[in-house]
Amino acid sequence: MGSSTAASGPSSLKLVGLVAAWYAGNTLYNIYNKKATNMIHAHWFVAAAQLVVGVVWSMVMWGTGMRKTPNLTASDIAACVPIGLFACLAHAGSVLAMGVGAVSFAQIVKACEPAFAAVIGLLLPPIDVKPMLAYAMLIPIVGGVGLACVKEGKGVDINVTAFAWASMANMAAALKGKMGGSVTKSLKGDKSKNMDSANVYAVMNIISFLFNVPMVVIAEMDTLQVEWDKATAEHGAQALIINIALSGFFFYIYNEFAFAFTANVGAVTSSVLNTAKRVIIIVVSSIVFVEPMERNTVIGSAIAICGTFAYSLASKVKPAAKKKKA
């Protein structure tokens, strides 16, 4: 009796719990991340510090035996390095985009990620050709983002820096998805490596952090002490550290729950709920940070998010099997 229940898959209560934790963690991450980047103008540093929280969490879990330690070879780690690099750029791009612009604007631009993924899928082997309906859905995605950038009485009004960082995040996320699929599937398929969805994310988080550190040195080391002193003088060291630490904690937690949910239900359902998640973040951030939402912004973001939703469904439609001639 028990075995048949286990075989039927995860319980609805477990799935609801995973979604609730994923949504709550993601929303809180965006709030605390924005608070932290508003306090200190050293956004590569903030991105790196957030990843440290996940590194410490993983080490504690492995050190205490609460989670099995990954058993990876040098070749396994080498295969993960490019994925970790793109994970670093995707995370940092998002942090920098929300640091220099509104959270809602960054989320609207990030709704364009399917367009980047579609292009990458056609350029890098193995070539991934989506159904034509999926490509058609890129039109409302891009058009919706474009409309959201049109301000009434002002014409096109784009925060170019935020747009560039969010676009970098989209490109990196698309490359991570393209290059990481086969690697993570292989690692998770070999039970001897102890690479379940949680450990896959933990390893990628560590590699991502290692790539983030040089960027802090290159981009911000000369001004980091000055920016830190300025931030602590204005906001206090405790408030700054708390916001960075909480943003890092919720970043790691929401990603771990998202990975676990996807592993249980598959990519299609996860993509649909990921789309809905953006709506919540845009609404909450607009309220918390008093970010103005003009009519074009609301309509454009709604079109783009609906297009993303439709793309997620259309891209997974399998072509009908050809009938054999009698």
Strand partners, 155: 151
- CA 326 to CA 324: how far, in whole Å? 6
Percent of the chain surpassing pLDDT 90: 50
- Residue 1: pLDDT band (50, 70, 90) is very low
Cβ contacts of residue 150 below 8 Å, gap of 6+?
Answer: 156, 157, 296, 300
Residue bearing the bigger pLDDT, 8 or 154 = 154
234-254 average pLDDT score: 96
Cα 71 → chain centroid: 26
Count of residues for the chain? 326
The answer to whether 114 touches 274, Cβ cutoff 8 Å, is: no
pLDDT on residue 246: 97
Residue bearing the bigger pLDDT, 218 or 324 = 218
The answer to whether 310 touches 131, Cβ cutoff 8 Å, is: no
pLDDT on residue 8: 53
- Residue 269: pLDDT band (50, 70, 90) is low
Top mean pLDDT of 8-17, 160-169, 260-269 is at 160-169
The answer to whether 44 touches 212, Cβ cutoff 8 Å, is: yes
Q: Which of 152-161, 224-233, 267-276 has the lowest mean pLDDT?
A: 267-276
- Residue 190: pLDDT band (50, 70, 90) is very high
Percent of the chain surpassing pLDDT 70: 90
Q: Is the pLDDT of residue 132 over 50?
A: yes
For the range 215-219, what are the long-range contacts, defined as Cβ-Cβ under 8 Å and sequence gap of 24 or more?
215/44, 215/48, 215/88, 215/92, 216/42, 216/44, 216/45, 216/48, 219/44
- CA 254 to CA 171: how far, in whole Å? 21
The answer to whether 317 touches 64, Cβ cutoff 8 Å, is: no
Residue 72, CA distances (Å) to 21, 59, 76, 180, 193 in order:
29, 15, 6, 16, 6
Residue bearing the bigger pLDDT, 283 or 66 = 66
pLDDT on residue 89: 97
pLDDT on residue 2: 44
Residue 316, CA distances (Å) to 51, 78, 267, 312 in order:
32, 30, 9, 7
Is 286 buried (19+), middle (13-18) or exposed (0-12) by CB count in 10 A?
middle
Take residue 38 and report the two structure tokens written for it: 């508003």
Q: Is the pLDDT of residue 4 over 70?
A: no
At CA 148, angle to CA 26 and CA 303, rounded to 5? 75
Take residue 53 and report the two structure tokens written for it: 């929280």
